[in-house]
């Protein structure tokens, strides 16, 4: 096993900032945009709520396992380092390759589009109609560039933006939940019956809905990418990953209960901006503005978190001489991987100008899931290697990592079998595997693998 090497990036992220990164990276656009698509596929209260609970368990299993691995390998790049040390340099390289050409660009695009749509909603424009549907993509590109700038000028600035927006988004969601449960539920009794209407649940739609839920939960692993900059990582990394993930699960399940307290399943299915529609139903135009501002802060903070963490993967890849060496440059004044940040931001801008929200989220989840599964599975070979000394051990091992891996295989298999997603899924896999020849070229130049 490659022993952890000292990071060239300063350790300046404390425990609370680390927890804020987990929450800030996770709570973004999904909880505000995904419920409509989930209600379309699972048009019943109990199926809708159950898929959010199952997605939370799935994320928690991954967080428990990566908490162990990250405490033993607290390096910049996180999942990249786990794949490299657990399975070999090829797997680490393919993860970095996929991050560059698909994963982070799709993530940034989907998050920034939601920011832009709610921003237009605050101004009184409908982002679903021309010309505002195009304006939303351009505004999204600007948001990516602005948050990239915050993170380029220093980790403290990026962490400050993340901390402030995390407090705002979590507090805003709590306010929406309290509003719905106090004003909406007593008036309507909620829309929880019939719990499972006929035809509201089947395996294939449930799998597709779970993909959308996992988009909303994604972010639980992002802190590991900046593990080389976390203070006292053996102690703080496991705590932040687990506490942050638990807080996200709690707020997501409560938010969906709140939505169903005000709107029925059919109304949720037709609502792309469900949180704003809930607030409008309860307190009118003021509610729309409040929720829209909350979502804007939420997605802006998530953009900041993503651009704080994900460029560290490309930085680590280049630092291992598996990518262009310029990408491993650290800014002489700000102490940040500025070339990697600019590269990730540029790819995000390109994707957001070319794709829709739904296509971006599906692309992201399908592309990242194989690497999450391999990263979690790395705990098995790592436990057999000398020098592996984690400060935290995965509870209920090996059941927890096996459950995560099995769930991933089910989801990816469902995407391949389902006619509507088969071609797109296979195309994503083909793009990822296209990185193998490039790896061979790089490895040959280095004289080995």
With a cut of 50, say whether residue 116 has pLDDT above it.
yes
222-249 per-position pLDDT tens digit: 888 888 888 898 999 999 999 999 999 9
Rounded CA separation 348/49 (Å): 31
DSSP class of residue 180 equals: I
The per-residue pLDDT for 4 is 42
Show the tokens assigned to 186: 């007593």
Distance between CA atoms of residues 73 and 94, nearest Å: 19
Question: Is the bond leading into 185 cis (omega within 30 degrees of zero)?
Answer: no
In the chain, the N- to C-terminal Cα span, in Å, equals 14
Grade residue 291 by pLDDT with cuts at 50, 70 and 90: confident
- DSSP string of 92-133, one letter each residue: HHHHHHHIIIIIHHHHHHHHHHHHHHHHHHHTT--TTSTTHH
Domain presence at residue 10: no
Tell me if 1 is assigned to some domain. no
Domain count, the chain: 1
Take residue 12 and report the two structure tokens written for it: 């300046």
In a domain, 357, yes or no: yes
The residues near 366 (Cβ < 8 Å, ≥ 6 apart) are: 211, 412, 415, 421, 424, 425, 428
Segments in 263-322 forming alpha helices (H): 265-269, 274-283, 285-309, 311-319
Look up residue 405 and give its two tokens. Answer: 């891996």
For residue 447, what pLDDT is reported?
A: 56
State pLDDT tens for residues 27-70: 877 788 789 889 999 999 999 999 999 999 999 999 999 999 99
Tokens of 301: 């903070």
* Count of CB atoms situated within 10 Å of the CB of 284: 10
Q: Is residue 9, in this structure, part of any structural domain at all?
A: no
What pLDDT, on a 0 to 100 scale, did the predictor assign at position 446? 63
- 395: tokens are 């509870």
- The answer to whether the CB of 268 falls within 8 A of the CB of 33 is no
pLDDT of 5 reads 43
Q: Which of 119, 104, 37, 88 is nearest to 308 (CA)?
A: 104
What span, in angstroms and rounded, lies between the C-alpha atoms of 345 and 209?
29
| Alpha-carbon gap, residue 357 to 114, rounded angstroms | 8
The closest alpha carbon to 127, from 261, 29, 256, belongs to 29
Classify residue 328 by its DSSP letter: G
Closest CA to 11 of 222, 233, 163: 233
pLDDT (0 to 100) of residue 87: 95
Measured distance CA(72)–CA(66) in Å, rounded: 10
Q: If you average pLDDT over residues 152-181, what whole number do you get?
A: 80
**Cα(26)–Cα(378) distance, integer angstroms:** 23
**CATH code of the domain in which 103 resides:** 1.20.1740.10
Q: What is the pTM of this model?
A: 0.82
Residue 365: inside a domain = yes
Q: Are 29 and 299 in contact (CB under 8 A)?
A: yes
Q: Which DSSP state fits 230? A: B
Q: Which residues contact 5 (CB under 8 A, 6 or more apart)?
A: 75
Band (418; pLDDT cuts 50, 70, 90): confident
d(CA 109, CA 116): 11
Contacts of 64 (CB under 8 A, 6+ apart): 242, 394, 395, 400
In which domain, by residue range, is 40 found?
23-446
Tally of residues, the chain: 449
**Residue whose C-alpha is closest to residue 209's, from 358, 368, 332, 409:** 358
Residue 73: inside a domain: yes
CA-closest candidate to residue 139, choices 156, 163, 122: 122
Is residue 12 a part of any domain in this protein? Answer: no
What pLDDT does residue 362 have?
A: 82
Between 29-33, 153-157, 212-216, the lowest mean confidence (pLDDT) is in 153-157
Share of the chain above pLDDT 70, in %: 94
Q: What are phi and psi of 230, to 5 degrees?
A: -90, 130
What integer pLDDT is reported at residue 187 of this predicted model? 66
Is residue 251, in this structure, part of any structural domain at all?
Answer: yes
């Amino acid at each position: 096993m490659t022993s952890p090497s000292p990071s060239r990036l300063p350790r300046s992220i404390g425990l609370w900032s680390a927890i804020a990164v987990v929450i800030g990276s996770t709570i973004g656009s999904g909880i505000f945009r995904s419920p409509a698509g989930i209600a379309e596929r699972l048009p019943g209260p109990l199926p809708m709520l159950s898929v959010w609970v199952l997605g939370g368990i799935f994320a928690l299993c991954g967080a428990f396992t990566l908490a162990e691995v990250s405490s033993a390998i607290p390096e910049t790049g996180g999942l990249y380092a786990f794949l490299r040390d657990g399975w070999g340099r090829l797997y680490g390289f393919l993860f970095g390759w996929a991050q560059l050409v698909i994963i982070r660009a799709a993530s940034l695009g989907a998050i920034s589009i939601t920011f832009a749509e709610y921003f237009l909603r605050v101004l009184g424009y409908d982002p679903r109609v021309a010309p505002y549907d195009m304006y939303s993509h351009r505004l999204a590109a600007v948001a990516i560039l602005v948050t990239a700038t915050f993170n380029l000028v220093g980790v403290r600035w990026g962490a400050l933006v993340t901390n402030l927006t995390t407090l705002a988004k979590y507090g805003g969601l709590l306010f929406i939940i309290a509003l719905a449960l106090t004003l909406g539920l007593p008036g309507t009794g909620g829309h929880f019956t019939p719990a499972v209407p006929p035809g509201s649940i089947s395996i294939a739609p449930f799998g597709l809905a779970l993909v959308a839920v996992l988009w909303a939960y994604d972010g639980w692993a992002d802190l590991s990418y900046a593990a080389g900059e976390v203070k006292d990582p053996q102690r703080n990394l496991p705590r932040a990953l687990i506490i942050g993930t638990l807080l996200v699960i709690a707020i997501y399940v409560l938010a969906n209960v709140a939505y169903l307290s005000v709107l029925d399943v059919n109304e949720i299915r037709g609502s792309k901006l469900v949180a704003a529609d809930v607030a409008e139903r309860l307190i009118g135009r003021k509610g729309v503005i409040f929720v829209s501002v909350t979502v804007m802060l939420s997605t802006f903070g998530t953009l900041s978190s993503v651009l704080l963490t994900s460029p560290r993967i490309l930085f680590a890849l280049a630092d291992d001489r598996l990518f262009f060496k310029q990408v491993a440059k650290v800014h002489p004044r700000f102490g940040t991987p500025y070339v990697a940040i600019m590269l990730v931001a540029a790819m995000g801008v390109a994707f957001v100008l070319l794709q829709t929200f739904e296509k971006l989220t599906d692309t992201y989840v399908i592309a990242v899931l194989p690497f999450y599964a391999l990263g979690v599975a790395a705990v098995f070979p790592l436990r057999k290697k000398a020098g592996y000394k984690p400060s935290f051990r995965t509870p209920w091992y090996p059941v927890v990592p096996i459950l995560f891996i099995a769930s991933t295989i089910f989801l990816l298999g469902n995407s391949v079998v389902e006619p509507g997603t088969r071609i797109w899924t296979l195309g994503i896999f083909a793009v990822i595997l296209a990185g193998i020849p490039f790896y061979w070229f790089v490895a040959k130049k280095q004289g080995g693998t």
